[in-house]
Amino acid sequence: MAQQHRQPFENPMFREIHKNTWLKKISPSNPKKKREKLWVVFCVHDDTDAYLETYSDNKVAVFHKPEWFVSLNSVQHISPTICAHEQEYEFVLTLSSEVVRLAAPTWEQMLDWVEGLKSKLSELRILSPRENVYTKLPEKQTASLLPTRDPNSPLPPPPAGPTEILPGVERSNSEITANRPSESITYQRRRSESQSSAMSRRSNNINEPQSAGASSNRVFNFDSFNCAIEPTTSTSSNNVHYEHLFQPGPSNRNNDTRQLVRTEASVTNRLLERSASCSPRILQPAPQPYKTLREQQVLMLEKEIKHPTGVKVQLRKKDCISSIGFVDAFDAVWICGWKQKEHPMLYNALHIGDRLINIDGINVKSAADAHRILQSHYCGLYVNIIVRRLPHGRVFVIHRETEGQSLGIIQENNTAVIESIQPNSLAARHGLTSKTKSCDGTSFTNWVLTEINGRPLNLFFKKNQIRDRLNSVGRDISVLVQPLDLIKQLKKQMKSLKNYKDYILQ
């Protein structure tokens, strides 16, 4: 069960708030109980633990001492309501141990909460992504099925026609005469010849001394056996479904042994070849090395950066109008920030330093064009935006050997500007340098840290934010760097925006 605390729980290293608003909490045991209005906060601690916290007042939420909280790491699914009840739109969070019921005042606010929770919990791998499983369509019946035979009716007679002779099985003379008369005459002639030859050999054996004759009467004569089965093997040689049996002949034991070994070796080779061709382990690909969540995030971002045609992002129109900071620099339109508190979902779609290409198929040449297109009638409820993901940025994932190990990054006056990289340090071994080409390609400039562990940094320097992020708990850390001249232009143009401080990310 979720624990209700009056005392504050242990504070994390950093706490990221994704949504907060006034909601009503419904008691699962007594739904008719008076519903109290609470300030509900959905936040993530240390990028791993998701929590839902409630406060009696929104001003008290600043101290991070919730009256009630529940961990969402065991959530199974989130369901919105279909029909409103007394102008309240309820949505339910089903956990492994209990059910949390909340009610929003409007339909849009309920859907915003449901989509926000699902998106972030899916990103944290707590909720599995929604996938459709398709199966093969049933084939169309071209002909009607025959009726099923009555089980009480007698069986149909056997089909007329000759039956095949199996190797090692001899039929009686009556069956051969009835089925195949011509073959019966040939078979009986060969059998009489083989019996006469066998009788001649037996008479010769009788003329031998008694000692040899006594022993020969007790031992099976393989010569007569070969003669007896010779017609059968000759008539069944055309049957390819059966292999020839190993037959001992009158040769000496050494030859028989060699033949047996040769036969066993060929059978063994066939079995090995068959097992090798049928073994699933041969067809399985080589196992891939295990990648941490941080490595997977960096790998996905690298794919987006290297994509030549850009990345397509679908956003709600109301999340784009007067909420994204578009600025002009280096003959292009760039994203320098967004209103994080009012539109936290933009964090999952945009990065500082993304270059805007077009909006709903219309090429964008300036920041004014971007605002005009978004406010025009061309855009519906959702807007398709194509951006070139961080064209001048590079992302690195650095593995510490021990906790608290220095990365070797020397900052310029504790700002985000990288002054130098210590030689043979962790950052240097992972490929991070202190200099890079400028955006115009005419000179070299310093790198600037814009994201640490996937979280954007304040472009206008906020005390010890960068130092605390670099010294965060964990051995894996990811950093995103961009050229200094680009960041300077973004900051300069950002100050020209109305209420530009609203677009600064923390």
Condensed to tens digits (0 to 9), the pLDDT of residues 328-350 reads: 999 999 999 999 888 888 988 99
Tell me, yes or no, whether 487 lies in a domain. yes
pLDDT of residue 418: 92
Question: SS3 for 274?
Answer: helix
- Residue 437's alpha-carbon distances to 304, 444, 445, in angstroms, are 21, 4, 6
The Cα–Cα gap between 455 and 470 comes to 12
Of 15, 104, 14, which Cα lies nearest the Cα of 115?
Answer: 104
Question: 33 with 83, same domain?
Answer: yes
pLDDT of residue 170: 54
Question: 338 with 419, same domain?
Answer: no
pLDDT digits (tens, 9 = 90+) for 443-499: 999 999 999 998 999 888 777 788 888 887 778 899 999 999 999 999 999 999 988
Question: 483 with 429, same domain?
Answer: yes
| Domain residue limits at 358 | 309-388
Q: What is the total residue count of the chain?
A: 506
pLDDT of residue 172: 54
The structural domain count of the chain equals: 3
Among residues 337, 360, 388, which one ends one of the domains? 388
Question: 383 with 400, same domain?
Answer: no
Question: 111 with 69, same domain?
Answer: yes
Across the range 53-82, mean pLDDT stands at 87
Tell me, yes or no, whether 67 lies in a domain. yes
Question: 28 with 63, same domain?
Answer: yes
The Cα–Cα gap between 163 and 332 comes to 85
Among residues 124, 152, 177, which one ends one of the domains? 124
* Residue 250 vs residue 192, higher pLDDT: 192
Tell me, yes or no, whether 266 lies in a domain. no
Residues 6+ away with beta carbon under 8 Å from 395: 298, 301, 302, 305, 451, 478, 479, 480, 481
Q: Which two tokens stand for residue 74?
A: 């065991």
pLDDT digits (tens, 9 = 90+) for 144-194: 555 666 667 777 777 776 555 555 555 555 554 555 544 444 445 555 555
Place of tokens 């699933």: 280
Q: What rounded mean pLDDT belongs to the chain?
A: 76
pLDDT of residue 62: 82
pLDDT of residue 358: 92
Flag the least confident range among 70-84, 244-258, 286-300, 364-378: 244-258
Q: What is the CATH number of the domain that holds 91?
A: 2.30.29.30
Q: Which two tokens stand for residue 81?
A: 């309501």
Question: 476 with 402, same domain?
Answer: yes
Instruction: Count CB-CB contacts under 10 A for residue 425.
Output: 17
Q: How far is CA 211 from its chain centroid?
A: 82
Among residues 91, 124, 157, which one ends one of the domains? 124
Question: 316 with 379, same domain?
Answer: yes
Tell me, yes or no, whether 164 lies in a domain. no
The Cα–Cα gap between 317 and 180 comes to 88
Question: SS3 for 77?
Answer: strand
Question: 352 with 338, same domain?
Answer: yes
Across the range 264-285, mean pLDDT stands at 53
Cα angle 195, 201, 205; round to 5: 140
**Residue 214 banded pLDDT, cuts 50, 70, 90:** very low
pLDDT of residue 385: 93
Tell me, yes or no, whether 255 lies in a domain. no
Tell me, yes or no, whether 230 lies in a domain. no
Question: 29 with 106, same domain?
Answer: yes
The Cα–Cα gap between 454 and 350 comes to 11
- Residue 339's alpha-carbon distances to 21, 319, 346, 350, 501, in angstroms, are 16, 9, 9, 12, 9
Across the range 395-423, mean pLDDT stands at 89
Tell me, yes or no, whether 272 lies in a domain. no
Tell me, yes or no, whether 267 lies in a domain. no
Q: What is the CATH number of the domain that holds 466?
A: 2.30.42.10
**Which stretch of DSSP H or E encloses residue 414?**
none
Residue 204 CB burial class (10 angstroms; 0-12, 13-18, ≥19): exposed
> Using CA of residue 419, residue 422, residue 425, residue 428, what is the dihedral sign?
positive
Question: 418 with 476, same domain?
Answer: yes
| Torsion angle, alpha carbons of 126, 17, 119, 111, to 10 | 120
The Cα–Cα gap between 127 and 114 comes to 13
Q: What is the chain's Cα-based Rg?
A: 42
CB 230 within 8 A of CB 194: yes
Of 48, 480, 435, 43, which Cα lies nearest the Cα of 300?
Answer: 480
Q: Which two tokens stand for residue 370?
A: 């971007």
Question: 25 with 120, same domain?
Answer: yes
